[in-house]
Amino acid sequence: MTQKPSWIYPLLNLMCAVFFSLGGTLIKLVPWSSMAISSGRAIIAALMLLVYMKIRHHRIVINKAVVIGGCAIGFSSILYVVSNKLTTAANAILIQYTAPVFIIFYIWLMFKEKPKKIDILATIVISLGEICFFIDSLSGGGMTGNLLALLGAAIYAVVFMMKRFDGADTLSSVLIGCIIGSVAGLPWLLTETQFTPVTIGGILAIGIVQYGMGYICMAEGLMGTPPLTASLISMVEPIINPILAAVVIGELLSPMALTGAAIVIVSVILYNIAQEKLKDRAAKNE
C-alpha cells in the first residue's frame, strides 16, 4: 500500500471533526430520543464500515487492543448521550473535550513520554478558546451529568490512543464501537413509531455522513497522527457544530463565542503548521 503524505493524516482528522459537527444540525431532522438516534446511526455506520472494509480488502481483527479501542468508542459515545440528559449540552461537550489532558497523562504514565512544551501550550490555549466559546451557556448543571461527562472524556482519550497499542486496528475498533452503540440504544429504537420520509432521510444522513464517514476519517487519520495532535484537531468539532446551526437555522452567536471560535481554529492551524516544521527539521537532522 502506498504511504500517504504526512499532512494527509491530520487533514483526515479535521474532516472527521467536520463530519461529526454535522450532528447538531442533522439530529434536528429526526424526532426520536437521543438513545434511539444513537442506535440508529451506529447500525447504519456499522453497515457502511463493513462495506468500506470489504472494498479495502481490510479483514476484521479481534484482539485485546482492538476490543479496548472499540469499548472506548462505544462507551464514550454512550456516556456523552447520557450526560447530555443530566447536565447542560455546553457542559457535556466542554467536559468531553478535556480529553487532551488525559492523553498527556496516559502517554506519560504508560509510555514514559513527557509532553513537549508546544503540546502543553496548544492544549491550554485551545481549551481557553473552548471556554470562551461556551461561557455564555455554561452553568452548574447536574453534578452527576458533569461527572459522567468527565468519565466519558477519560475514556474518549483512549480512542485517540488506539494506534499506540500492540496489535491495534482502528477500523476494526470503530466497527466494534458501532456495534456497542447499536445494542445499547436498541431498546429505545424499537419503541419509536415515527418513520416518515424526513425521519428516514435524516437518520440515513446522520448514519452515513456524520457517523459513518466521520469514523472512517478518524480511523484512517489515526494511523498517521499522534494521539494528542488528533485530539486537539478534534476540538474544532464543538465549534463548527453551533456555527453550522447558526448558518442553517439562524441561531445567533455572541461576540465572546466568535472570539473563542477564532482562538480554537487559528490555534489548531498554527499547531499543525508547527508540528510539520518540527518533523521537517527532525528529518533534515537525521
Residues of the chain with pLDDT > 70, as a percent, come to 91
Q: 472494498: which residue's cell?
A: 55
pLDDT digit string (tens) for 113-151? 888 888 888 889 988 888 888 777 767 667 888 888 889
**Does residue 1 sit within a domain?**
no
Mean pLDDT in residue range 185-196: 94
Mean per-residue pLDDT, 84-110: 83
Q: Is the pLDDT of residue 281 over 80?
A: no
Residue 159 lies in a domain: yes
Classify residue 84: in a domain, yes or no.
Answer: yes
The answer to whether the pTM exceeds 0.85 is no
Mean pLDDT score, 67-86: 89
Q: Is 220 inside a domain boundary? A: yes
pLDDT value at residue 136: 74
**Does some domain include residue 90?**
yes
Number of domains in the chain: 1
Instruction: Say if residue 237's pLDDT is above 90.
Output: no
pLDDT of residue 88: 72
| pLDDT at site 1 | 45
Which of 76-80, 146-150, 189-193 has the highest average model confidence (pLDDT)? Answer: 189-193
Residue 86 within a domain: yes
Indicate whether 276 belongs to any domain: yes
Mention every residue, 6+ apart, whose C-beta is less than 8 A from residue 207: 40, 41, 42, 43, 44, 45, 48
Residue 55 has pLDDT above 60, yes or no: yes
Structural domain of 281: 9-285
Average pLDDT over the chain, rounded to an integer: 86
| 4 domain residue, yes or no | no
Query: Per-residue pLDDT for 171 more than 70?
Result: yes
Mean pLDDT of 13-21: 90
Q: What percent of the chain has pLDDT over 90?
A: 41
Whether residue 196 has pLDDT greater than 50: yes
